[in-house]
Amino acid sequence: MEVIHTIEGLRSTVSGLKADKRSRNQTDTVGFVPTMGYLHEGHMSLMEKARVQCGIVVLSIFVNPLQFGPNEDLASYPRDEQRDLKIAEQMKVDVVFMPNAQEMYPQKIRTTVSVSELTERLCGASRPDHFDGVATVVMKLFHIVNPDRVYFGLKDAQQVAVIQQMIYDLNMNIELIACPILREADGLAMSSRNVYLSDEERKQALVLSQALQNAEREVTDQTDISIAQLHEQVRSDIQSSDLAKVDYIEILSYPSLEIIDSSTFIQDALSRNSMIIALAVKFGKTRLIDNLILAQHS
Ligand code: AMP
């Protein structure tokens, strides 16, 4: 496994690996997994899928300052390079790209990739500029790595919708593979930020996955309830935790992220569109997100 810190080094390593694959008549498809590091099994599931589907697997680890707001956790974001490299090696990644901020942003950046509409609600509403920062760094990384397939987790379902839209709008020749949310045994969605939680916060944070599970049960039982009623049920499940401070609970179409009239019955809405129940809730200083995608009935 190669660990590369420069853009030039990454480009020449990937083109060398591709040439080598071609010379052996093996597939030279490049699978790319962008991350901010502090790797866990959620990240590992993306690497695993890339390993199965591609000839060459590139992992990036870069805590991107552009996507953090001024009062967010950029400085304290958890980091453990040595552990991350061991995990990458174990997952049979070919190349780890670990640039520093100076390498990625050597001068003031004057070009921003901005996806409209999809970024207005959910995390886009509570984290202004976040998705411009994400889309811009992801576009830069795509140009640096030049991947055929890219792997993103549905834990960040809005991010998947935004990046898919960017790929589509700008005719990028890249296939986005959206991967399911990996959870701890008790249901908590895996996240690098879970380490911030105190024992009590960690315990109470289970209300998120439990609320989503209850909602899923309502929907699969085909109960005749409206969006407003389901929303209320999710809210009251979450508010059973006295530490939970709700940032948002929204039920929207997915991936278009449009508002659905709240009097619509869930089953009617699902006959037209897939939907997402998306949550962002703070426990102490830690803001957690989770979601459930409800698939469209045929
Ligand atoms: P991050 O390091 O948090 O920027 O995440 C890097 C990638 O891993 C993103 O595509 C995330 O959606 C994905 N990811 C993070 N947590 C999970 C999880 N619990 N299950 C699946 N994918 C995840």
**pLDDT tens column, 257-268:** 999 999 999 999
pLDDT-derived band of residue 298, with 50, 70 and 90 as boundaries? low
Residues with CB under 6 A from ligand 1: 35-36, 42-43, 45-46, 152-153, 155-156, 179, 181-182, 189-192
Dist. CA 153 → ligand 1 center (Å): 5
Over range 239-251, report the average pLDDT: 98
Instruction: Report helix, strand or coil for 79.
Output: coil
For residue 218 the two structure tokens come to: 């309502």
DSSP-derived secondary structure letter, 244: E
pLDDT tens, position by position, 282-291: 999 999 999 9
- 8 Å CB contact between 148 and 50: no
Active site residues: 43
**Number of the ligand 1 atom closest to the C-alpha atom of 180:** 21
Q: What is the torsion angle, in degrees rounded to the nearest 10, for the CA atoms of residue 258, residue 260, residue 266 and residue 268?
A: -100
Ligand 1, from 33, 35, 159, 279: best to mutate by most atoms within 8 Å of Cβ?
Answer: 35
Mean pLDDT of 84-99: 98
**What mean pLDDT do residues 37-62 have?**
98
State the average pLDDT for the chain: 97
CA of 263 from ligand 1 middle (Å) equals 33
Percent of the chain at pLDDT > 90 equals: 97
Extract the tokens encoding 274: 């897939």
- Please give the C-alpha separations between residue 141 and each of 79, 125, 144, 155, 294, in angstroms, as whole numbers: 20, 25, 5, 20, 31
Residue 75 has a pLDDT of 95
Cα–Cα distances in Å, from 181 out to 41, 178, 189, 209, 216?
10, 10, 7, 11, 15
Question: Across residues 58-66, what is the average pLDDT?
Answer: 98
**CA 5 – ligand 1 centroid, Å:** 22
17 pLDDT more than 80: yes
pLDDT at 176: 99
Tens digit of each residue's pLDDT (9 = 90 or more) over 97-151: 999 999 999 999 999 999 999 999 999 999 999 999 999 999 999 999 999 999 9
Do the beta carbons of residue 192 and residue 73 sit within 8 Å? Answer: no
Looking at residue 33, its pLDDT comes to: 99
Model confidence at 296, pLDDT cuts 50, 70, 90, reads confident
